[in-house]
Every structure is written in C-alpha cells, then in structure tokens.
Amino acid sequence: MSLRVADLAASTTFYTAFLGTAPKDATARYSTFTVPHLHLNLVLLVNDSAQPLDTYSLYHLGLGVADKAAVIAAYHAALAEGAPIVKPPRTTWRGTPLHELWLRDPSGYLIEVYARLTDEELKQMPPDQEPVFLVTGRAAA
C-alpha cells in the first residue's frame, strides 16, 4: 500500500508509533514500513503535486488485529500520538460484528482498526444490538 502524505515527517512519526516499528527505509521523499505479522508493506510518499490531497476518495484503511485487547491498545497508542479519534473503541453488532476503533492519520486518512469477535463474544450480543463501548471517559474528536 502506498499513500501520498501532506507532511512526511509527521506521517512517519505517526505510523512508527501506530505500527510499532521504525521505517525500513527513509529518505526526504518517502518512508517504507515492512510489518511481517500484518503482511503489510506501506510506503509514505511526499505529496509533490500542486493539488491538495484528496482523502475523500479513499474511504478508509482497514487494519485487522488479533483481538479486543489489541483494538484497545491501538486506541491508547493513538491517544499518545495525539491522533484524532473518530469513533472510540467499541463492539458493533450490526453488519459484521467487530471490535473497532476509527481514527485519522496526520494527512486526514480514515483508519479502522478492527478485530473479529470470537464465538463466545458473539453470544454476548445485546438484544437491541447497540454498540458497546470498550473504554470510558474519552469522546470522539
């Protein structure tokens, strides 16, 4: 995956913290991340176009993680980085039941961090199917 970014240094710092690994390569024009356990090769490129970035046409990046604890950990890492939280960690039941977190990177790209529910977790679905928040005290940005 490759993204053009508004600020390479800010995006490199964000993705270093978010992915938990330093770039494999970094120059003044790009940063490359290789994350084997996610099967991810991410390249951040300087936006050298006169046109502003269009973060609207890419709906979101989805990052599947192991479990609910990993979604909550991603939330705390995002808070530590100052990333805007769009939807705090929660369990959703409608559509595909997931533990999910939605946030934005420094260029404005929307990121969904999610984990599929276990069979045991699926049995805990509330009758009204309303989302269940996984942390308290923080609102969406």
Per residue of the chain (141 residues), give pLDDT as tens.
889 999 999 999 999 999 999 999 999 999 999 998 888 889 999 988 888 888 777 778 999 999 999 999 999 999 999 999 999 999 999 888 999 999 999 999 999 999 999 999 999 999 999 999 999 865 555
Give the pLDDT score at 108: 92
Is residue 72 within 8 A of residue 5, CB to CB? The reply is no
Place of tokens 């890419």: 58
Ordered domains of the chain (ranges, CATH): 1-47 (3.30.720.120), 56-135 (3.10.180.10)
Q: Report the chain's terminal Cα–Cα distance, integer Å.
A: 26
Give the pLDDT score at 53: 83
Q: What is the dihedral of CA 19, 64, 61, 99, to 10 degrees?
A: -110
CA dist 32 and 26 (Å) reads 6
User: Is 54 strand, coil or helix?
Assistant: coil
Within 8 A by CB and 6+ apart from 127, the residues are none
Is residue 15 within 8 A of residue 21, CB to CB? The reply is no
Is residue 21 within 8 A of residue 13, CB to CB? The reply is no
Tokens representing 11 are 């995006």
Tokens representing 55 are 């973060």
